[in-house]
Amino acid sequence: MTCKGKLIIILLGPPGAGKGTQAKLIENKYNIPHISTGDILRDAIDKNSTLGKNANDYMHKGELVPDDLVFDLIKERVENPDCKYGALFDGFPRNLAQAKMLMNIQYVKQSKNFFVFLINISDDEAIRRLSNRRYCPKCKSIYNLIHKIPERKKNGIYLCDNCGTELIIRDDDKVETIKNRLKVYHESAEHMINFFKELSVLHIITNSIEQDVFRDITRIIEAESTLEKD
């Protein structure tokens, strides 16, 4: 489906909420680019642009890239031709300051179809999902012992279906690390969520099943947007 008019979507939610999965589904349905802060940073660094060099300086030191620098990268990205009819933001904004910056750029102000979806899951559910992830260090395949279980085991350790390598648990998916990530998320997201709620653009999705989440998101877009569809 191709939409005539600009559609801007922000996906919010704790780690493990399934934002990446929903982003792919939305991108395919509405033909708008999935803009991830991490991808933008890596691309700018690879291109060795001025913004990329500045961002790399912070990342090399293990520091967070400042809000204004991330914002400049976002503004540069939405000027690309593929953003003419809209964009889907994942991983941005991360806090209230970034949210206010985003709402003040002309690209967003010109859109009458602006949606913020909060995919809400409990901390216990986030821990359950993330701690069951398994990762192949060789071919980079990702599994989950809940819904994407590897077919083979050796000495009690799961093996990659693609290359046979022993799967590992990444540091990000260890329980203590997950709890810390959730703590950081709640601290940074609370004021941002209230900000979008006050603007009447926030939609909270409470379903936990992938297909139901996507169904709820598309229903809201179809009901509330002013888009003309090809």
Catalytic residue among 6, 77, 129, 181: 181
Catalytic residue among 6, 77, 94, 129: 94
Domains identified in the chain and CATH numbers: 3-33+80-128+175-229 (3.40.50.300)
CB-based burial of residue 45 (10 Å sphere; 0-12 exposed, 13-18 middle, 19+ buried)? middle
Catalytic residue among 6, 77, 129, 133: 133
DSSP label at 7? E
Q: Which residues are CB-contacts of 35 (< 8 A; sequence separation ≥ 6)?
A: 74, 77, 78, 83, 87, 88, 89, 90, 92
Q: What pTM was computed for the model?
A: 0.84
Active site residue 94: yes
Among the listed residues 130, 117, 122, 113, the one whose alpha carbon sits nearest the alpha carbon of residue 177: 130
Active site residue 219: no
Number of other CB atoms surrounding residue 119 within 10 Å: 23
Active site residue 129: no
Active site residue 77: no
Q: What is the pLDDT of residues 83-116, one digit of tens each?
A: 999 999 988 898 999 999 999 999 998 888 999 9
Residue 1 has pLDDT above 70, yes or no: no
Strand-pair category, 86-90 with 7-12: parallel
Catalytic residue among 6, 19, 129, 134: 19
Catalytic residue among 170, 174, 183, 229: 170
What local confidence, expressed as pLDDT, does residue 41 receive? 83
Active site residue 152: no
Q: Calculate mean pLDDT across residues 20-30.
A: 93
